[in-house]
Structure 1
Amino acid sequence: MAHTSRVLKSEWTKVRSVRSTVWTLALALVVTVGLGALICLLTNNEYDDMSAHDKMTFDATFVSFAGMGLGQLAMIAFGVLVVSAEYSTGMIRNSLAAVPQRGVFLLCKVIVVGLLVLLVGMVTSFVTFFLGQSLLGDHGVSIGDHGVLRAVLGGGLYMTLIALFAVGVAFILRSPLLTFGILMPWFFLIANILGEVNATKKIAQYLPDQAGQTVMTVVQESLDRPYGPWQGLLIMVAWTVAALVAGFAVLKRRDA
């Protein structure tokens, strides 16, 4: 236990001493809150011009999370950087020499990263919601309304899982350029395109981001999914666990 606590302290020191990782977390908060506020303001101004169908399926909670698409990219960057920074600088050799139990090394990194992004994710989610609803005016909802608190908590959990998924992929690929080259276009562009094309829509809805974001919806009629919000989040949990397990397998089998 004493050994594990020292490893946890070491991982915390690594995270807070690398300036880029701190800035990515701040960027995730600013982008998600800022873009969400802008979309809510524009939506409030244009609400009266919306069609009857759009008004019936209007999800005020999900609208406030409109900035999550870009904010998640910063969380992905954070997850990649906390792993790839050690590989790119060669520090990984010292880390594994100090902690030869690679399972302990990975677990401690996941705990530190997970708790940190959970804190930032929850703050981001609640600030995004309350600011967004204030800008929606009469079209907003209350945190006490049915399904709203679940959606707001789910927003924080989503950001946590997306960062941990990136950690797992970074351990698999080990190269920052390769990891960024795959994850950024995938989550920013490709996954959304696959979700809009009829031929791939049924498959795309089981991708981590497409499934995970359902937990932030309150009006289920606005989404066409064969599963509910918590089931969608569980699908994302499965993707995250799979990435971390695969990352551990690579870490255990390959030299630094």
Structure 2
Amino acid sequence: MASVPAVLNSEWTKIRTVSSTTWTLVSAFAVTVAMSAALCALMNSQFDELPLAEQATFDPALLSFSGLVLGQLAMVVFGVLVVSTEYSSGMIRTSLAAVPQRGSFLFSKILVAGVLSLVVGLVTSFATFFLGQALLGDHRTDIGADNVLRAVFGGGIYMGLISIFSMGVATMLRSSMLSLGILMPFFFLVSQILSAVPGTKNVARYFPDQAGSKIMQVVPAAMNSEPAPYGPWGGLGILAAWVVAALIGGYLVLKKRDA
């Protein structure tokens, strides 16, 4: 029986020695910060042209995290690669032979990759916030303002949970192409489109990305948007429920199916 510290060390070695996972996390940071900075600079120059209702509900903290629309996709790719690379390479058989306790194997992998995702998410969130506020000029907010620190920490937690959710989905599907083929369009297209359609937006509010992103919102009904039926922490709780469901599904598939 492999010891837990040994399994954790093994999973850490796998992640840090695969260049694709490392560069994916670098991309998540770079894309999020760059896109957020560009949008904050643009908003600063165009603020006076906004409708009065949007000016009144302007949320400078939330705008700082606008780059997460793309950055979260890199976190999805990281989560999928952490799990599915072993299936595509055939290394999953060796891994399960070394660690036959499948629960220990899976949750050690999730723990190591999840903590790494959370750290990268927090670094990204703080970096994008401070840079974004610097570019907003007179329209900026301060990290000491009400609920702003919660939003900044929440941005990092959101990125980490999206990555872990993707790990659970990839464990169920056991394929990089299939996992990315479902998750990427879902987060980038389906969720965004359904949340804008009157007939489906009430359902889309409970999608993991739509609900979880509320933790980054400081101003209620920001940018004159419709308020959600839950608060910031409630939204994060909905995302966490999606994550737990994905991990349970992944564990059941791993436990019952051959490698």
Instruction: Tell me the TM-score normalised to structure 2 length.
Output: 0.98
- Distance between the aligned counterparts of 2:98 and 2:236, measured in 1? 36
- Distance between the aligned counterparts of 1:46 and 1:13, measured in 2? 47
**1:198 alignment partner, SS class:** coil
Structure 2, gaps ≥5 residues long: none
Q: How big is the shift at 1:93?
A: 0.3
**2:21 alignment partner, SS class:** helix
- Distance between the aligned counterparts of 2:57 and 2:101, measured in 1? 51
Q: How big is the shift at 1:50?
A: 1.2
Matched, 1:184 2:201: no
Structure 1 residues 27-60: Cα deviation after superposition (integer angstroms, max 9, x where no partner): 0000000000000000000011111101111000
Q: How big is the shift at 1:220?
A: 1.2
- Distance between the aligned counterparts of 2:114 and 2:83, measured in 1? 13
Question: Number of residues paired by the alignment?
Answer: 256
Query: Residues 169 and 247 of structure 2 are in contact (CA less than 8 Å); yes or no, is this contact kept in structure 1?
Result: yes
Query: Residues 187 and 209 of structure 2 are in contact (CA less than 8 Å); yes or no, is this contact kept in structure 1?
Result: yes
Q: How does 1:1-256 map to 2 (within 5 A)?
A: 3-222=3-222, 223=225, 224-256=227-259
Which residue identity lines up with residue 49 of structure 1 in the other structure? Answer: E
Structure 1 residues 122-162: Cα deviation after superposition (integer angstroms, max 9, x where no partner): 00000000000000011000000001000000000000000
Q: How big is the shift at 1:107?
A: 1.1
**2:200 alignment partner, SS class:** helix
Which residue identity lines up with residue 71 of structure 2 in the other structure? Answer: G
Which residue identity lines up with residue 84 of structure 2 in the other structure? Answer: S
Runs of 4+ in structure 1 off by over 2 angstroms are none
Query: Residues 80 and 166 of structure 2 are in contact (CA less than 8 Å); yes or no, is this contact kept in structure 1?
Result: yes
Structure 1 residues 172-210: Cα deviation after superposition (integer angstroms, max 9, x where no partner): 000111011000011011000010001101000000000
- Distance between the aligned counterparts of 2:77 and 2:10, measured in 1? 21
- Distance between the aligned counterparts of 2:56 and 2:236, measured in 1? 25
- Distance between the aligned counterparts of 1:143 and 1:57, measured in 2? 18
Identity over aligned pairs, percent:
59
- Distance between the aligned counterparts of 2:199 and 2:50, measured in 1? 29
Structure 1, gaps ≥5 residues long: none
Query: Residues 65 and 129 of structure 2 are in contact (CA less than 8 Å); yes or no, is this contact kept in structure 1?
Result: yes
- Distance between the aligned counterparts of 1:221 and 1:206, measured in 2? 17
Q: How big is the shift at 1:2?
A: 7.5
Instruction: Tell me the TM-score normalised to structure 1 length.
Output: 0.99
**1:220 alignment partner, SS class:** coil
- Distance between the aligned counterparts of 1:115 and 1:143, measured in 2? 24
Which residue identity lines up with residue 213 of structure 1 in the other structure? Answer: S
**2:47 alignment partner, SS class:** helix
Structure 1 residues 222-242: Cα deviation after superposition (integer angstroms, max 9, x where no partner): 242000000000000000000
